Amino acid sequence: MLLIIGTVRLPPEKLAEARPAMERMIVASRVETGCLEYSYAEDVLIAGRIHVKEIWRDQPSLDAHFASDHIMAWRATWPELGITDRDLRVYEIGEARAT
């Protein structure tokens, strides 16, 4: 499995405008083959900072995601939304277990 985790930033005043685009991205990604989890969360302390968490079954699933129409549409909104400071990392992980 692959875990993608990190952050993106946008001007806090653009957050309301960004929410529908983020929702479309999340909804479309969650139904993709191989997507086990996909979420964005606003940082409580840093306005305009969005935490990203994705879990993918395997690299082919992630590759298909990166080639999808909805990710192209999402990325096309970045300039108008002022999305910057994209810092995402991919980690290979094993199966989850309860703690």
Above 90 in pLDDT, residue 96?
no
Cα-trace Rg, the chain: 14
For residue 55, the enclosing domain spans 2-92
- CATH number for the domain spanning 69: value is 3.30.70.100
In a domain, 97, yes or no: no
In a domain, 85, yes or no: yes
Domain count within the chain: 1
Q: What's the pLDDT tens digit per position in 4-63?
A: 999 999 999 999 999 999 999 999 999 999 999 999 999 999 999 999 999 999 999 999
For residue 32, how many other CB atoms are within 10 A of its CB? Answer: 17
pLDDT (0 to 100) of residue 98:
84
In a domain, 99, yes or no: no
